[in-house]
């Protein structure tokens, strides 16, 4: 492991985002060790200058900063013993690598509680996405999870025809949440699919969840695909792409030895500062890591009984009603519509300003829909 070299001139907004992560999320103090886990040189999923900028700010506040390469791999296999020793030895391990996303539900990381960074480049970390008070989003997450758990009935719809409902957010007592600290906090806890039924309307493409690498990873959809489900099982596909969808699910299930029609859970974005300015089809894997935190995006974990499954079903501009109250309405989240939300916005004026003027760019094509596009270059 090598010390991060000095990095020239950190803009004030980027420095604020980095400090929000290092102090607000990771709770690091002068004299402690920060281990930055990165992908090998030449990969483009993360901005190659991001680690250096974080390291420079970390060193400026007295942290001992080290870097360690932890490549993405085909399956969500645990880090090697040597890698785990390095992670365990640090006061905080920061994942700037897809490997952290692969292992976000894996119990191997639970004892070390590393930070998984979903700001993929310096611009995202310097934006409201990175700078918004992390403590405020911890409280927001608690409010939303409580509201979901206490709801007797939840119904979700979208403009393309999504329409499903179920008995509230019956979160499991254990094993339902990730083993990492997310930064920025982007989604509420996954709602188990058991007890829910209806139709998920998907446009643009089917894509992976980030857990495993397989080919093809993305499948283009010519029109809206309707995925019917009842509880934890997909019961049918409808639309012009139904046959292709069935074949893809069967292929991925057989390839990875997982239950292809299993529906595990779903959740939606909670961060109105999350923006993704590149069209999704340019690099769908990167889009899946960077855009899901916006409230305009809801996604299902499917094709596998272990979170997060292998195929993500993405719904755009959901309306999510908790006992009839539209807490998400046409892709906008209204925290004041849940218990404690109005008080939270009053305590954090910056949070209220962010919800009053949310980001709307989430990588849609000029048609206003997701699209795979003519080319999607690999990330390494």
What does the pLDDT look like over 53-112, one tens digit per residue?
999 999 999 999 999 998 777 776 777 788 888 888 999 999 999 888 887 766 667 677
- Opening angle at CA 206, ends 376 and 268, nearest 5: 105
Q: Which residues of the chain have pLDDT under 50?
A: 1-5, 375-379
Residue with tokens 């719904």: 315
pTM, entire model? 0.93
Nearby residues of 215 by Cβ (< 8 Å), 6 or more positions away: none
Give the per-residue pLDDT at 1.
Answer: 36
Q: What token pair was written down for 242?
A: 């139904």
pLDDT at 2: 41
pLDDT, tens only, 168-221: 998 887 555 567 899 999 999 999 999 999 999 999 999 999 999 999 999 999
Q: Alpha carbon 34 to chain centroid distance?
A: 23
Determine the Cα–Cα distance for residues 225 and 206; give it in Å rounded to an integer.
9
Nearest C-alpha neighbor of 109 from the set 179, 169, 51: 179
The structural domains of the chain, ordered by start, are 2-126 (3.40.50), 134-356 (no CATH)
Report pLDDT for 309. Answer: 95
Tokens of 338: 């849940």
pLDDT value of position 44: 86
- What does the alpha-carbon distance between residue 364 and residue 282 come to, in Å, rounded to a whole number? 11
Averaged pLDDT score across all residues of the chain: 92
């Amino acid at each position: 492991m090598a010390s991060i070299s000095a990095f020239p001139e950190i803009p004030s907004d980027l420095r604020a985002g980095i400090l929000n992560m290092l102090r607000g999320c990771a709770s690091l103090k002068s004299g402690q060790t920060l281990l930055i886990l990165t992908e090998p040189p030449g990969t483009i999923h993360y901005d190659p200058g991001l680690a250096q900028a974080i390291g420079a700010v970390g060193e400026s506040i007295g942290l001992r900063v080290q870097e360690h390469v932890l490549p993405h791999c085909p399956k969500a296999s645990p880090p090697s013993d040597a890698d785990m020793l390095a992670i365990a030895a640090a006061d905080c391990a920061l994942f700037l690598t897809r490997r952290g996303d692969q292992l976000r539900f894996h119990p191997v990381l639970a004892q070390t509680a590393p930070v998984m960074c979903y700001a993929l480049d310096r611009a995202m970390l310097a934006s409201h996405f990175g700078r918004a008070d992390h403590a405020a989003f911890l409280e927001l997450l608690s409010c939303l999870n409580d509201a979901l758990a206490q709801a007797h009935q939840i119904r979700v719809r979208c403009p393309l025809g999504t329409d499903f409902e179920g008995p509230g957010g019956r979160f499991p007592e254990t094993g339902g949440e990730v083993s990492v600290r997310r930064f920025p906090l982007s989604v509420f806890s996954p709602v188990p699919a058991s007890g829910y039924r209806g139709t998920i309307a998907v446009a643009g493409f089917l894509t992976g969840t980030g857990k495993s690498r397989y080919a093809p990873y993305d499948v283009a959809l010519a029109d809206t695909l309707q995925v019917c489900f009842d509880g934890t099982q997909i019961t049918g596909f409808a639309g012009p792409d139904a046959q292709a969808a069935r074949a893809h699910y069967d292929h991925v299930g057989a390839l990875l030895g997982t239950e292809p029609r299993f529906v595990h859970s779903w959740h939606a974005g909670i961060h109105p500062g999350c923006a993704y300015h590149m069209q999704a089809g340019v690099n769908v894997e990167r889009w899946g890591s960077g855009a899901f935190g916006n409230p305009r995006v809801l996604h299902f974990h499917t094709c596998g009984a272990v979170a997060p499954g292998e195929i993500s079903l993405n719904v755009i501009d959901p309306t999510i009603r908790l006992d009839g109250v539209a807490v998400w309405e046409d892709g906008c989240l209204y925290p004041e519509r849940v218990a404690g939300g109005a008080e939270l916005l009053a305590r954090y004026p910056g949070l209220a300003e962010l919800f009053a003027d949310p980001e709307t760019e989430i990588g849609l094509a000029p048609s206003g829909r997701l699209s795979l596009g003519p080319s999607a270059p690999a990330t390494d």
